[in-house]
Structure 1
Amino acid sequence: MAAQTSLLALSFAALLLIGGESATFTIKNNCPMTIWPAAFTGEGSQPSTTGHLPYRRVRTWRRSLQWSYGVPPATLVEFTLNDNGGLDTYDISNVDGSNLRVTLAPDNSACVTTSCLGDINADCPADLARKSGSETVGCLSDCAALNRPEDCCTGAFNTTQTCQPSRSANYFKEKCPQAYGYAFHDQTSTFTCSTGTNYRITFCP
């Protein structure tokens, strides 16, 4: 049976704290199941239900009904608006794990469209796999599964010299070269675009 498309098209505006400009994020679901996209601003308060978010930092992901704050494993799409001299920064992150393929496309042709298109769930190591019945629905990172400083790049391992990519980080990077597999994939996974750009996030592209 062909997968249903356009189960969800949701737009919201993140209003910048500086300059009053805004960016519109359009979220589209091409997956065969209903998803509940979530947005988290890190500001300590619940975002407005109008869809207007007066914040510079926005994170969105696919959640099931019981997940409130991106409980791993969850593929994250992250933005910091007007971050550096009139630029937005954005990325896709599997640092805590992955549960869905996703594409992030700026509406500015001068900017990079980034994606995570590999089927991470298909070959997820058994000890990192999260199941729904017999189906793997998510793949944890070593950090999320084991919470060890050497996997999470924390404590004495908080530099590029002391924290090397773990087994899951290498696996995620192989499947999704543009996305973060661990904390220090900045050079290959962080992108910039001029402030005021709008963004389209597509799940199961």
Structure 2
Amino acid sequence: MLSYTVWPGTLTADQQPQLSTTGFELVSQATSSVITPVPWTGRFWGRTGCSTDASGRFSCATAECGSGQVTCNGNGAVPPATLVEINILPNGGQDFYDVSLVDGFNLPVSVSSQGSTGDCQTSTCPANVNVACPAELQVTGSDGVIACKSACTAFNQPQYCCTGPNDQPSTCTPTNYSQIFESQCPQAYSYAYDDIKIIKIIRAS
């Protein structure tokens, strides 16, 4: 198993206040806790290959958020980035989470619940999709392929982005590119209308 540092980023959706931390360093085997309000909708992702230059500007090789700091301060990840998407509902409602490769892939991720009742499963993308990434989607660095773009990011065409005449599930179907992501990580979203992968959380409290 490879050991490396990641720099998670967080983004709150719907123009709501950001969490108390919007980015931090996480060395191999380390843990960190982030408290969210209820309700809360947002996403987490991991940045890799990060460093601070001589001017003090912080940047990352993958999933960069462009703030120039370890904290993302309301900025989202620049694709390609593996995303964990979470929707926490109030008043004992069912919460939902998923792993999404709609914005491409940069590192394996999994998300699971604790202290919940019901049949709550882990949503995961355990594979290194970079190994299977076709040349036209590859992002390369000094260590070889470091991320894999989505076809939407690479080509910006409606059939890949589910836009324009392809903005409905019936007209935006899996492509050869999304099926690469699907084959590597079948539990993760592989394109915009891949809508069968959301996992529900039924909270015990």
TM superposition score normalised by structure 2: 0.73
Higher RCO, 1 vs 2 (CA within 8 Å, ≥6 residues apart):
1
- In the TM superposition, residue 190 of structure 1 has moved relative to its aligned partner by 0.9
2:20 to 42, 48, 54: 48
Cα distance in structure 2, aligned partners of 1:84 and 1:91:
21
The equivalent residue for 1:71 is 78
Cα distance in structure 1, aligned partners of 2:140 and 2:204:
40
Q: Which has the higher strand share?
A: 1
Determine if the alignment matches structure 1 residue 159 to structure 2 residue 168.
yes
How many residue pairs match? The answer is 167
- Note the alpha carbon deviations across 1:93-123, whole angstroms, 9 max, x for none: 0011001111111113620111111221012
The equivalent residue for 1:126 is 135
1:143 to 142, 146, 152: 152
The percentage of aligned residue pairs carrying the same residue is 38
Query: Does 134-143 or 64-73 show the bigger shift?
Result: 64-73
Determine if the alignment matches structure 1 residue 115 to structure 2 residue 124.
yes
Cα RMSD over matched residues?
Answer: 2.3
Aligned structure 1 segments of 4 or more residues deviating by more than 6 angstroms: none
Q: Mark the runs of 5 or more structure 2 residues left unpaired by the alignment.
A: 23-33, 51-58, 66-75
The equivalent residue for 2:110 is 103
Cα distance in structure 2, aligned partners of 1:89 and 1:133:
37
Cα distance in structure 2, aligned partners of 1:99 and 1:58:
19
Cα distance in structure 2, aligned partners of 1:186 and 1:195:
22
- In the TM superposition, residue 195 of structure 1 has moved relative to its aligned partner by 4.1
The equivalent residue for 1:39 is 10
- Note the alpha carbon deviations across 1:10-51, whole angstroms, 9 max, x for none: xxxxxxxxxxxxxxxxxxxxxx22110011002445432494
- Alignment partner of 1:98: what SS? coil
Question: Is the 2:45–2:81 contact (alpha carbons within 8 Å) kept by the matching residues of 1?
Answer: yes
Q: Mark the runs of 5 or more structure 1 residues left unpaired by the alignment.
A: 4-31, 198-205
- In the TM superposition, residue 167 of structure 1 has moved relative to its aligned partner by 2.2
TM superposition score normalised by structure 1: 0.73
Cα distance in structure 2, aligned partners of 1:91 and 1:162:
23
